[in-house]
Structure 1
Amino acid sequence: MADGYLVYGAEGSGSIPVEAALTLIGAPYRVEEIVTYASEEERRKMAPHNPMRQVPVLVTPEGETITESAAILIWLAERHPDAKLAPSPGDPMRARFLRWMCFIPASIYSMYWVRDVPARLVGDDRAAQAEMDRRTLARIADCWAVMESHIAPAGDFLLGDQVSVLDLYMAVVSRWRPLRPRFHEVAPRLGEVARRVDALPALAAFWSKRFPFEGDYAD
C-alpha cells in the first residue's frame, strides 16, 4: 500500500468513522468491502486480516495492519497532525479526548457484538434473545446518557470549534440502534454536535455514498 491506505470495511459499519477521517485528512485510500454483519461467509473473509473477523482494519502505506476503530482513529490523528483531528499530547483537552475515545468502544460499541447475534451468548432460546436485545439497547441508551452528563461540548464540537475523530466516532455509532431519535432523547447536547458532524460540507458526498441519511438512519 505504498500509494495510500487500505481499509477493510462496509457501508454503515465501524469503518465509516475511519473512512470519514481519511476523507477529511485528504489521504489517498481505497476500501475493500467485506460486509461482516451480513453472513458467516463474509466474516470468514476477514480472518486473514483480523483474527476477530471484524471491520474495520486499516493497512498503512508501510504495510502495518491496525485493528480496533478507536486505535485506528487515534493513530490517524497523530499520523496527520495538520488535519487537527485530535488534541496533541499536553493539550488540556487530551485527557477528555482519550477518556471518551475509550468509553465509546468499551461501553457502547461492544454491545453490538451481543445484540447483533444474541445467540452467541444465549443460544437458540428466542425469549432469551428478545430479552438480550431489549437489555442491550437499554444499556446503549444509558451509556449515551452517562456521556451526556459528563461531557459538555467545548464549542461547536465536543472538544472545541474544530471537528475531531471523537466527533466522527460519536456521530456514526449514535446512528446505530436504538437509532438517533432515542439518542437525541437521552443525549440532546451530544445530539446537536452529531447533527453538526452530519452537516459538514466536506463530508456531504461521503455520507451520501457510505452511510446515507435515509430509512432507519434518517435523523
Structure 2
Amino acid sequence: MYVLYGSNGSGSASVEAALALSGAEYEIVQTPTAEGMHLTEDFKAINPRQQVPALRLPDASVMTEGSAMMLHLADAFPAAQLAPPPGTPARAQHDRWLVFMVVNIYEGELRKGYSDRYTDDADGAVGVKTSADAYVKRHHTILEETIVGPFLFGPEMTMADIYLWMLAGWMDQDWLAAHCPKITTLAATIGQNPLVAPIHAVHFG
C-alpha cells in the first residue's frame, strides 16, 4: 500500500489524484502545514526538508517531490495509461512539460505564497510577490498556447494534465477564465472526474 503524507490545498493534491486515477491502493496521512505538523521530528524523519507531499512506497521506501511521485506511478501502473511509454518521443514531451510546470509555475507559486522567504530585505517581500505573480501568469499563457485539446497532448488525460489541474486550482479563477480558457476547461474536466471530484472538493472547495 502507498501512504501519502499531505495537507489540504498543498502540492499533495496532484499526487492524491494520481494515486486514485492509477488504481493504486493508498491511504492519506493528514499532515496539516497550517498546524505545523510538517515541522515535527516525526515528519522530519520521513522528509528531512519537512515539506509535503511525501510518499511511502509499498516496500517502505520514501519518495519526495510530487512530480517524481507522479512519474513513478505512471510507470508502476501502465494499465492506467497516464503517461506515454518510457523512451518514446511522446513521453519526452510529456516529461518536458511536466518539469516546465514544476520549475516555473510551482516554484513561482512558492514565491507568491512565501515571498518573505525569498528576500533578506524587510521591505522586499511585496516586490517578490508581485514579480512572482506576473511570472506565474506568463507561464500559464505559454501552456495555454500549447494545449492540443481537450488535454495537453490530445484526447487522453496524462499526469501532466493532473498536475496542471492542481496549478489551475491555485490561480485567480476570473483571471484564468479570461486569459486561459483552455486551461480552465481542462481543469474543470479533471475536477469533475468521478475519482477526482472528492479530492477536488477537499483541496479547492
Structure 2 gap ranges (5+)? none
Aligned to 2:200: 207
Equivalent residue for 1:161, pick from 149, 155, 159: 155
Question: Aligned equivalents of 1:145 and 1:166: distance in 2?
Answer: 16
The residue type equivalent to 1:84 in the other structure is Q
Shift of 1:92: 4.1
The residue type equivalent to 1:211 in the other structure is H
Equivalent residue for 1:44, pick from 32, 39, 54: 39
The residue type equivalent to 1:81 in the other structure is P
TM-score, structure 1 as length reference: 0.84
Question: Aligned equivalents of 1:181 and 1:162: distance in 2?
Answer: 26
Percent identity over the alignment is 30
Query: Is the counterpart of residue 131 in structure 1 residue 124 in structure 2?
Result: no
Aligned to 2:64: 67
- In the alignment of these two chains, the number of paired residues is 203
CA RMSD, Structure 1 to Structure 2 (Å): 1.9
Greater relative contact order (CA < 8 Å, ≥ 6 in sequence): 2
Which SS does the other structure have where 2:186 is aligned? helix
Equivalent residue for 2:14, pick from 12, 17, 36: 17
Query: Is the counterpart of residue 122 in structure 1 residue 115 in structure 2?
Result: no
Aligned to 1:82: 79
Shift of 1:114: 2.4
Contact 2:4/2:29 (CA < 8 Å) preserved in 1?
A: yes
Aligned to 1:216: none
Which SS does the other structure have where 1:191 is aligned? helix
Query: Is the counterpart of residue 175 in structure 1 residue 172 in structure 2?
Result: no
Equivalent residue for 1:185, pick from 168, 173, 178: 178
The residue type equivalent to 1:132 in the other structure is V
Structure 1 runs of 4+ aligned residues shifted over 4 Å read none
Shift of 1:140: 0.5
The residue type equivalent to 1:50 in the other structure is N
Equivalent residue for 1:113, pick from 96, 110, 117: 110
Deviations 1:22-78 (A, max 9, x none): 111222211111122x25x33312322212211111110011211111100001010
Which SS does the other structure have where 2:46 is aligned? coil
Aligned to 1:102: 99
Question: Aligned equivalents of 1:185 and 1:170: distance in 2?
Answer: 17
Deviations 1:87-119 (A, max 9, x none): 112444212201111011101111233222222
Question: Aligned equivalents of 2:147 and 2:199: distance in 1?
Answer: 28
TM-score, structure 2 as length reference: 0.90
Equivalent residue for 1:195, pick from 174, 188, 202: 188
Shift of 1:201: 2.4
Structure 1 gap ranges (5+)? 214-219
